[in-house]
Amino acid sequence: MKKRVVLALGGNAILQPGQVGSYENQKANIEASADSITEIIKRGHELVIVHGNGPQVGQILRQNELAKEEIPVQPLPICSSESQGFIGYMLQESLKNRLPEKNVATVLTMTEVDLKDEAFKQPTKPIGSFYTEEESKQLEVEKGWVMGEDAGRGYRRLVPSPKPKTIVEVDVIRTMLENKIIVVSTGGGGIPVAKNESGQLEGVAAVIDKDSSALKLSEEVDSDVLMILTDVPNVYINYGKPNQEKLETISIEKAEEYYNEGHFSDGSVGPKMAACIDFAKQGKTAIICSLDEAADALEGKAGTRVVG
């Protein structure tokens, strides 16, 4: 059966921790991701691709800061829009080369947030490169950055990450899907905007979690499936321990029980499972799987599925 699918591409699909953020590295990773996405398109499903931008938006901001003697530093929402542009371009190129008969297009997407969101008081979203603990302490003192540990992989700069309220361009995205266009949208969770005192949308200094925005988009385009692609084939309980156990198809109740027992860490798989649980509560299927198994996972042959 043909399905409407919102597919969230993990940060690793574009740049792996420790890799230099060169064009060549990012292009090679996107080429590898495009194979599995192509398979889903070939099977006739409608598709919106949401991608991460944590490494890229941090890198663009840093480039700005390093060039500030010559060119004014651009605010974070501008950096977000730049990351959507270049990642969208790379995805479009890779997919169009594989499927010349298909139309693939990127929508620069704004995501509305609430200025009163508590997240503005406490930066939690890691962006940019990884640093050692010692470097991180130095950066806090020298540059005034807020730094934090990122899921056991090192230390990174943290920025506020408010919850998505609504996807501003959702009508455009829906129209594109109805016209069989493969859509790249809501990259990096969307460019964060909020209504100012005059009720006008204005960019805000934040980076939204792309898994939360993918959930919001799935709800707003009424997708049948939410798929979150990352670098592990399944979600596990007791992850990394000798009694680690793979999760295949699980109920909402089981997923919530494991979530509350702390099996899914906050900085990595936790937000993905939270999004899947919320989506499954609408009576739909949410999947977490590895990039190369995406097409099989959609048919129930791979990955972890939370079912409503």
Ligand X SMILES: Nc1ncnc2c1ncn2[C@@H]1O[C@H](COP(=O)(O)OP(=O)(O)O)[C@@H](O)[C@H]1O
CB count, 10 Å around CB of 221? 20
For ligand CP, the binding residue among 33, 53, 84, 223 (CB under 6 A) is 53
For ligand CP, the binding residue among 77, 88, 128, 189 (CB under 6 A) is 189
Shorter beta-carbon distance to ligand CP: residue 271 or 303: 271
Q: State the minimum distance, in angstroms, from the CB of residue 87 to ligand CP.
A: 10
Q: State the minimum distance, in angstroms, from the CB of residue 1 to ligand CP.
A: 29
User: Can you read off the two tokens belonging to residue 10?
Assistant: 């993990």
| Of 265, 252, 185, the residue nearest 8 (C-alpha) | 185
Among 54, 187, 210, 216, which one carries the catalytic annotation? Answer: 210
Residues of 198-209 as b/e, b for ≥16 C-beta within 10 angstroms? Answer: eeeeebbebbbb
Among 10, 53, 58, 125, which one carries the catalytic annotation? Answer: 125
Asked about 64 being catalytic, the answer comes back as no
Site string for ligand X, 41-60 (x = CB under 6 A): -----------x--------
Q: How many residues does the chain have?
A: 308
Q: State the minimum distance, in angstroms, from the CB of residue 35 to ligand CP.
A: 20
Q: State the minimum distance, in angstroms, from the CB of residue 285 to ligand CP.
A: 22
For ligand X, the binding residue among 264, 285, 289, 298 (CB under 6 A) is 264
Asked about 210 being catalytic, the answer comes back as yes
Binding site residues, ligand X, CB under 6 A: 10-12, 52, 230-232, 235-236, 239, 263-265, 268-269
**Which residues are known catalytic residues?**
11-12, 125, 210, 272
Binding site residues, ligand CP, CB under 6 A: 11, 52-54, 188-189, 207, 209-210
